[in-house]
Amino acid sequence: MVFNKKTIEDVAVKGKKVLLRCDFNVPIVDGVITDENRLVGALPTIEYLLENGAKVILCSHLGKPKGEAKKELSLEPVGARLSELLGKQVVFADDDNVVGENAVNAVNNMTEGQCVLLQNTRFRKEETKNEENFSKELASLCDIFVNDAFGTAHRAHCSTVGVTKFVDTSVCGYLIQKELKFLGEAVENPERPFTAILGGSKVSDKINVINNLLEKVDTLVIGGAMAYTFLKAKGFQIGNSRVEEDKLDYAIEMMKKAENKDVKLLLPLDHVIANEFSKDATPLETVSENIEDGYMGLDIGPKTRENYSKWISQSKTVIWNGPMGVFEFENFSKGTKAIGEAMAKCGGTTIIGGGDSAAAVNIFGMGDKMTHISTGGGASLEFLEGIELPGIVALNDR
Ligand code: AMP
- pLDDT tens digit string along 97-150? 999 999 999 999 999 999 999 999 999 999 999 999 999 999 999 999 999 999
pLDDT at 359 over 50: yes
263 phi/psi in degrees, rounded to 5: -95, 135
The most confident of 131-145, 347-361, 367-381, by mean pLDDT: 131-145
Selected catalytic residue, list 53, 63, 367, 378: 378
pLDDT at 1 over 50: no
Q: Is 224 in the pocket of ligand 1 (CB under 6 A)?
A: yes
CB 62 within 8 A of CB 78: yes
379: burial class by Cβ within 10 Å (0-12, 13-18, 19+)?
buried
Ligand 1 mean position to 199 CA, how many Å? 7
Mutation pick for ligand 1 pocket among 326, 331, 337 (CB with most ligand atoms within 8 Å): 326
Residues, the chain: 398
For 116, 184, 362, the CA distances from 380, given in Å and listed in that order, are 29, 10, 17
Q: Is the peptide bond before 193 cis (omega within 30 degrees of 0)?
A: yes
Tell me which residue has its CA closest to atom 12 in ligand 1.
326
Active site includes 202? yes
β-sheet bridge partners, residue 300: 271
Tell me which residue has its CA closest to atom 5 in ligand 1.
200
Ligand 1 mean position to 183 CA, how many Å? 23
Distance of alpha carbon 209 from the chain centroid: 14
Ligand 1 mean position to 41 CA, how many Å? 27
CATH topology of domain 182-385: Rossmann fold (3.40.50)
**pLDDT mean over 176-181:** 92
For 18, 203, 210, 384, the CA distances from 207, given in Å and listed in that order, are 39, 6, 5, 11
Q: How far apart are the first and last CA of the chain?
A: 12
Chain mean pLDDT for the chain: 96
pLDDT at position 170 is 98
CATH topology of domain 8-175: Rossmann fold (3.40.50)
d(CA 137, CA 101): 12
d(CA 243, CA 238): 8
Q: Where are the domains of the chain?
A: 8-175, 182-385
Tell me which residue has its CA closest to atom 2 in ligand 1.
200
334-353 pLDDT, tens per residue? 999 999 999 999 999 999 99
For 35, 138, 154, 156, the CA distances from 43, given in Å and listed in that order, are 15, 22, 22, 24
pLDDT bucket at 386, cuts 50 / 70 / 90: confident
Tell me which residue has its CA closest to atom 11 in ligand 1.
326
pLDDT bucket at 3, cuts 50 / 70 / 90: low
0.85 exceeded by pTM: yes
219-276 pLDDT, tens per residue? 999 999 999 999 999 999 999 999 999 999 999 999 999 999 999 999 999 999 999 9
d(CA 37, CA 43): 10
Active site includes 87? no
Q: Is 65 in the pocket of ligand 1 (CB under 6 A)?
A: no
Q: Is 335 in the pocket of ligand 1 (CB under 6 A)?
A: no
